[in-house]
Chains A and B, each alone.
Chain A
């Protein structure tokens, strides 16, 4: 059996690693010391709380409680995605809908295919993985929408003036934003196993699972994230791009 216990003493030694990052930031005048300290404190508190919460949820094994945990994950993911929208109206609701559909569709398909079982120890971590990847994809798609609507403004105005609908006006921008949202997932799918041994697979190997079995899970995760990021960024972009226009079909300033 693998030795999987990290003792508090070992964690204390790991703090030395944070100190290295702090010293680099301080010596190089990067100015990230405050963020690093906040990050460390938040990580410790959040992970400790989630550790206890997950232990409880897995122990009681109730569907309602599992779904509540998934809902909290999705809510937080949507809130974070909204933070990257840079003023796009209704970004929270759009993100919430996109992440909810992306997560639930993927989870339902995986459960129906019996790839995972509807039990908290599987549903909660998989939902977290999907929601966080969808969140990153949507955040990137929002950033792409914002920069394209700024940089390509004249071309968009001309399309409107020629009598194009909003969809005909923005279709190139929409496609590029969805592509941008999905690109990290597609890129990592291309290099998985060559550059990185991703979390799911590493965790299983850590826990003593045969690597040939662990890769099966990782393949499933790769496919699932492709589906989730494409669903999430497509929904988010299609709901977000009309927000750049006013009801008179003019570009907002």
Chain B
């Protein structure tokens, strides 16, 4: 049996005097696809941000690949555990600025071929590369943001309602790409409200009022 990639033990988050998460304990195996659902404001995104080290738990422990999460150097950790926001903000002026960023932070040079291949995966044309970000539709923005997260294959992909508000075709593309990465070994933990995504979940965790309510295998 492989060592779990994540082990959460009695994790709690209190922010500004408000309890957001209480007594969260579960583990995730490498290569698993975990779907997290629950009502708005129940703490799903908070949990994902804890896994991404974008929020530090106030109690309990998170273990990643056998080591306490807090012992990892943050930039190295976040390049392995990639977090994708629900309403991503693209930065710079063009799509290119966003796709070269993951290369830039690793001090690597990006070729146009690499960038257009990433766009093609998301069903976006090569001409999109130098398009100003203000001219992109919501669906295009979300796909560029996801491409940005996937340029360097992450060990874990954390998805925060990334398909919310997308049309059916775009949603299908996004699902296909995520499934593809999952098949190639990336662990996926996805927060969603989408009934369709919940129905086909490999493993479903439900969070209610900051507590883990149901664990369905």
A interface residues, Cβ below 8 angstroms from B: 152, 154-155, 157-165, 168, 172, 248-250, 253
Contacts and interface: CB of A to CB of B under 8 A. Distances in A.
B16 A164 contact: no
Interface string B51-64: 01111100000000
A127 to B, nearest CB: 41
Nearest to B145: A158
A162 B102 CA distance: 7
Contact of A163 (B56, B75, B85, B88): B75
A250 B101 contact: no
Contacts of B15: 253
Given A159-B91, A161-B84, A162-B101, 16 more contacts: A154-B89, A157-B85, A158-B89, A159-B101, A160-B78, A162-B148, A163-B82, A163-B102, A165-B105, A168-B104, A168-B105, A248-B56, A250-B53, A250-B54, A253-B15, A253-B16
Contacts of B90: 155
A220 B91 CA distance: 40
A163 B104 contact: no
Contact of A249 (B16, B74, B87): B74
Contacts of B53: 248-250
B52 A165 contact: no
Contacts of A159: 91, 101, 105
Contacts of A161: 52, 54, 78, 82-85
A157 B78 CA distance: 12
Nearest to B102: A162
Interface in B79-130: 79, 82-85, 87-91, 101-102, 104-105
Main secondary structure of the interface of B (DSSP, over half): mixed
B192 interface: no
Contact of A158 (B56, B74, B75, B88): B88
Interface residues of B, number: 29
17 contacts: A159-B91, A159-B105, A161-B82, A161-B83, A162-B82, A162-B102, A162-B149, A163-B78, A163-B82, A163-B105, A164-B75, A248-B53, A248-B56, A249-B74, A250-B53, A250-B54, A253-B15
Interface of B: 15-16, 52-56, 74-79, 82-85, 87-91, 101-102, 104-105, 145, 148-149
B138 to A, nearest CB: 15
A164 B83 CA distance: 13
B171 to A, nearest CB: 21
A250 B149 CA distance: 18
Contacts of A172: 91
A168 B75 CA distance: 11
Nearest to B85: A158
A172 B101 CA distance: 13
A158 B102 CA distance: 11
Contacts of B104: 168
B54 A160 contact: yes
Contacts of A250: 53-56
A159 B87 CA distance: 14
B74 A248 contact: yes
B134 to A, nearest CB: 14
A118 B148 CA distance: 57
A202 B15 CA distance: 57
Nearest to B98: A158
Nearest to A249: B74
Nearest to B154: A163
A249 B75 contact: yes
A104 B187 CA distance: 56
A165 B75 contact: yes
